[in-house]
Structure 1
Amino acid sequence: MTVTAPDDPKTLVSTGWLAAHLKDPDLRIFDASWYLPDMGRNALAEYQKAHIPRSRFFDIDDISDHRSELPHMAPPVEKFMSRMRALGVGDGHQVVVYDGAGMFSAARVWWLFRLMGKTDVAVLDGGLPKWLAEGHAVTDTPPIIRDRHMTVTRQNQMVCDVTEVARAAKLGDHSIIDARAPERFKGDAPEPREGLRAGHIPGSRSVYYKDLLHDDGTMKPPSALRTVFHDAGVDLKKPAITTCGSGVTAAILSLALERIGKTDHALYDGSWSEWGMYADLPIATGAA
């Protein structure tokens, strides 16, 4: 039997919770599906074919900072506000985010809302696969959207740049946690993006994001999450920095940290797409 944690509209809600609240007037739902090229899936096409009723499509690559050469970096505040207004999402709304993989990219959008100072946002535990498995309805009809004003206060402490991460790695005063597969962390497997070195940030710890999830894509309860971090050698007394390949699955680590009550965590937005690109940044290989 899969053990799940209680619903929390600020972090994680169940499919049952969403079904019960589906018609709430101030609920806004996002399909934030995003896939790596080797997954062979088209997120927008899948959304257009079938999505949870009333959900909007959140394009992670579009709602990003196009001034950066790095993939889907967090957008400027003004761009985030304008995109959300166009999608009919604003102040006073409860947001629920899901994806088509179960738990893969939705946490990135949860983190992005938190970065922008919005706390009434949760990830749908188990995502669309669990919703479908339970027989809940889907539709191909787009929602009716009306403009809504949004006030944003960017929480700069929730994101790190390469300089801050390099300093933290050198001083050892943060727990740097890497969500990539162990083979990539060790440097035994090539990176999916060309031109990147293999390995990990010196001093970082490997916590594969899938180790935080049950087989059905739902997140493990807080007690089990703590065990995963502990077994990986993560010092939870230190402030945490989460990282991955391009800042997507790192947000699953951030969500898990929030679920266990740890609030002093930041996400390295450039992640390995940036760190692995620069020859002057140190790397480590093998196990942590």
Structure 2
Amino acid sequence: MDALVTTEWLANELTATDLRVVDASYFSDASRDAAAEYEAGHIPGAVFMDLGEIADLSNPLPSMLPSPEKFASRMQSLGLGDGSRIVLYDDSPLHTSARAWWMLRTFGAHDVAILDGGIAKWKAEGRALATGKESLRHRHFTVWADDKGVRTLDQMKANLDSAAEQVVDARSAARFTGEEPDPRPATHAGHIPGSKNLHYATLFNADGTWKSPDDLKAAFDAAGIDLSKPVVATCGSGITAGVLVFAAHLLGNDAALYDGSWSEWGADRTTPKAMGAA
């Protein structure tokens, strides 16, 4: 299974016994209810992955990775198990299926793909939808974590001196430069010194599908990121950085993700902050 699959491919695979489809929609504000939208209409057989709850809720930072035990428990309850082929989609402007893809791979699931164009493309093509909730059967999901793709605050601080990894920031240019204040209280504006800016939204076509590999590479090149060298992605709270990680993966680069992102770095009084363009 490719990392990025088409609606046509998924329609042909829906009845496969090892395939699991997951709605990973998540919204950063309360104006939309992801669970309610899922129940109002989802791809047949799809289950809802609540990214707001599948996190370390004891951590004051938003959206931090949960423990491996919690993650495995939630996946088991959704019927996602060892040996499952998992296809993720979303209907979020944040393209949150990329965060879910990164989480699943971090916790040991490797046959994971994203549906190109999400449910919006599925609906636009007039394909079947289901409503309500799906009946779920628990499956075994092994407790496992591989942190090679996860970066911590200490590692990011060390990288300031070593410059071993290129840092690319998925936030908008105005947030990156500090022209626009951070929406979180007591959080400095600006960016990690030495980081480059590549707004996640620029990696998609107007219909929500991913841009071609050539166009994705051109976007990284224009941002000053050399994909032949190590990369770590950051953003506001670790969500849209997943878009950059997935795009890099499509281009053959196993980029890491700074989970705390600017919500951690920008609020920490001991970290240096840069303003203006990179």
TM-score of the superposed pair, with normalisation by structure 1? 0.93
Partner Cα separation in structure 2 for residue 43 and residue 70 of structure 1: 21
List 4+ stretches of structure 1 deviating above 6 A: none
Distance 1:143 1:23 in 2: 15
Instruction: Confirm or deny that 1:145 pairs with 2:117.
Output: no
CA separation in 2, counterparts of 1:285 and 1:64?
30
Give 2:83's match in structure 1, choosing from 64, 68, 92.
92
**SS in structure 1 at match of 2:69:** helix
Contact 1:160 1:266 in 2 (8 A): yes
Alignment match, 1:12: 4
Q: Secondary structure of the residue that 1:123 maps to in structure 2?
A: strand
Q: Distance in 1 between matches of 2:106 and 2:2?
A: 13
* Matching residue of 2:106: 115
Q: CA RMSD in A?
A: 1.3
Q: Is the 8 A contact 2:98 2:246 kept in 1?
A: yes
Per-residue displacement from partner, 1:70-120 (whole Å, max 9, x unpaired)? 112111111111111111110111101111136611100000011012111
- The reply on whether 1:188 has 2:179 as its aligned counterpart is yes
Question: Any conservation in 2 of the 1:103–1:126 contact (CA below 8 Å)?
Answer: no
Structure 1 unmatched runs, 5+: 1-8
Residue 144 of structure 1: how far off its partner (Å): 1.8
Query: SS of 2:21's equivalent?
Result: strand
* Aligned length in residues: 278
TM-score, normalised relative to structure 2: 0.96
Separation in structure 1 between the aligned mates of residue 266 and residue 260 of structure 2, nearest angstrom: 10
Matched, 1:22 2:22: no
Q: 1:272 corresponds to which residue?
A: 262
Q: Is the 8 A contact 1:113 1:121 kept in 2?
A: yes
Q: CA deviation at 1:10?
A: 4.6
**Structure 1 counterpart of 2:67:** 76
In the aligned structure 2, how far is the partner of 1:102 from the partner of 1:147? 31
My pick for the range that moved more, 10-19 or 158-167, is: 10-19
C-alpha distance in structure 1 between counterparts of 2:59 and 2:205, whole Å: 35
1:42-86 alpha-carbon deviations (Å, 9 max, x no partner): 111111111111111111111111221111211111111111111
- Residue ranges of structure 2 left out of the alignment (5+ in a row): none
